[in-house]
Amino acid sequence: MPYDTQPKASHFIDGAYVEDTEGTPIDVIYSATGEKIAQVHAATPAIVEQAIAAAKRAQPEWAAMSGTERGRILRRAADILRERNHDLSVLETYDTGKPYQETSVADATSGADALEYFGGMAATLTGEHIQLGENWVYTRREPLGVCVGIGAWNYPTQIACWKGAPALACGNAMIFKPSETTPLSALKVAEILHEAGLPAGLYNVVQGMGEVGSALVTDPRVDKVSLTGSVPTGRKVYAAAAEGIKHVTMELGGKSPLIVFEDADIENAIGGAILGNFYSSGQVCSNGTRVFVHRDIKEKFLSRLAERLDKAVIGDPMDPDTSFGPMVSERQMQIALDYVEKGKAEGARLAYGGARIDRDGFYMQPTVFADVTDDMVIAREEIFGPVMAVLDFEDEEEVIARANDTEFGLAAGVFTNDLTRAHRVAARFEAGTCYINTYNDAPVEAPFGGSKNSGVGRENSKAAIEHYSQLKSVFVRMDDVEAPF
Ligand code: NAD
């Protein structure tokens, strides 16, 4: 292993690396080779206690600092992330298996964007003044207290920053639990935040499986939980948070529609469908995996799509030319391959790929099914792998109804050159994040999140501030108090 992927210790608490080997060992596997590249230990109850106690202790002093001071530290951390982009991208590639071609432009960089954006915003957070005759009310925007972030394995650095940056900007402390599949990158985020001047105890990382997440969520000292994960986990975490009337952000799964009308620029539409199905080997929550293509252009779409998929460079994720890497784990690859079998059994036409690739690691081919119908399992369930379902349609009314006929509502996209149709369709999508003639952009300036079962709350943008702070109203009377007796 040319890189030292073994972290100094499993957890980062109160400004320092902490180990407790009593915790269940978690092996970190490089999915391009199947080899073990590191080991961490799940947090024991003692480690969870240390993290919560440190966060609880450190938070009030942080909240008492000015927004300008808090923001400066976050922006400094953003600069360090960018300076170390190469090393962080290599680590992210080892952690997830995603190609360096992607990690070098999408992970530490988007984390840095969030730290820079919310760092800049920290100084602008204010309440308002409400005049009531000669009396008045003012509002104070206050932090929530101790926030818990729980991550998925597909974007470990980005998720650690998307949750940490707004939480810290608002004056909260954060305890972040990465996915047990990808425990490495969040530790680097913690290290860098402290190097940038973050006081100890404000950004802590603890490792572990669902039980550790659950221990954090149910602790009465925790005020907010932000989860990125699947809908079934979201249901459990939301229910546990409700027990303590805690604030929540839920970034959950999807089965998003992407509609390609007959007048669309077909190369752009195929580009959108490729980004929305095969980037990160299809392991992106907002992917447009139900691609509705107008019947008139379907065969052309499929043949050009196949030509472009032939150009995918599948191989060593560290090679900068590689554009399609392995799945994150053997398990995730097996789940996706099982869906391929289900698609075949249901009578969908396998138009491209469909098999495991014969090499070390957990690689499968980019896969396209055509002639998929709405009732097929591959059109209803989130696969979270490189499996695109192409469905035919004929008219706008019909396709909107079918696009919305799902429990999920994370994202949706439309490709058309008809301006009014584009906006009409976007307005009718039942989804939190919509795209016109593009797919899967996620700039920090724009709200990101889902409706229906795909989530609650929004990450990024000014909207995230609402989910990491609360308003206090202060009534001020200038005249006398009129009491009945
Ligand atoms: P997952 O639901 O299996 O796990 C997510 C996290 O929750 C992990 O850290 C896990 O340890 C933790 N967890 C599990 N049970 C828990 C419990 N009872 N209490 C507290 N924490 C618990 O998801 P995954 O397999 O890691 O990630 C894939 C899923 O995440 C997909 O469904 C995908 O769509 C979704 N996702 C959503 C977004 C988004 O922004 N909406 C982004 C990325 C991934």
Is the separation of the CB atoms in 298 and 330 below 8 Å? Answer: no
What positions carry a catalytic annotation?
163, 251, 285, 459
Confidence of residue 4 (pLDDT cuts 50, 70, 90): confident
3-state secondary structure of 267: helix
Confidence of residue 473 (pLDDT cuts 50, 70, 90): very high
Q: Which two tokens stand for residue 418?
A: 């008809």
| pLDDT at position 1 | 57
- If you average pLDDT over residues 18-25, what whole number do you get? 98
- If you average pLDDT over residues 186-199, what whole number do you get? 98
Task: Determine whether the shortest distance from the Cβ of 208 to ligand 1 is under 6 A.
Answer: no
252 DSSP assignment = -
CA of 456 to the centre of ligand 1 (A): 14
Could you tell me the end-to-end alpha-carbon distance of the chain, in angstroms, rounded to an integer?
81
Burial of 171 (0-12, 13-18, 19+ CB in 10 A): buried
Q: Which two tokens stand for residue 69?
A: 């001071």
CA of 152 to the centre of ligand 1 (A): 4
- If you average pLDDT over residues 27-50, what whole number do you get? 98
pLDDT at residue 111 above 60? yes
- If you average pLDDT over residues 431-441, what whole number do you get? 98
With the most atoms of ligand 1 within 8 angstroms of its CB, the residue from 182, 216, 233 to mutate is 233
| pLDDT at position 305 | 98
- pTM of this prediction? 0.97
* Residue-averaged pLDDT of the chain: 98
pLDDT at residue 10 above 90? yes
Task: Determine whether the shortest distance from the Cβ of 186 to ligand 1 is under 6 A.
Answer: no
Closest ligand 1 atom to Cα of 448 = 40
Task: Determine whether the shortest distance from the Cβ of 179 to ligand 1 is under 6 A.
Answer: yes
CA of 167 to the centre of ligand 1 (A): 19
CA of 68 to the centre of ligand 1 (A): 33
Closest ligand 1 atom to Cα of 253 = 34
Confidence of residue 244 (pLDDT cuts 50, 70, 90): very high
**DSSP per residue, 138-177:** EEEEEE-SEEEEE--SSSHHHHHHHHHHHHHHTT-EEEEE
Closest ligand 1 atom to Cα of 332 = 25
Question: How far is the C-alpha of 450 from the C-alpha of 433, rounded, in Å?
Answer: 7
| pLDDT (tens digit per residue) in 57-67 | 999 999 999 99
366 CB-near residues (< 8 Å, 6+ apart): 277, 278, 282, 309, 312, 324, 352, 353, 386, 388
- If you average pLDDT over residues 406-423, what whole number do you get? 98
Element (H, E) at 112: helix 108-122
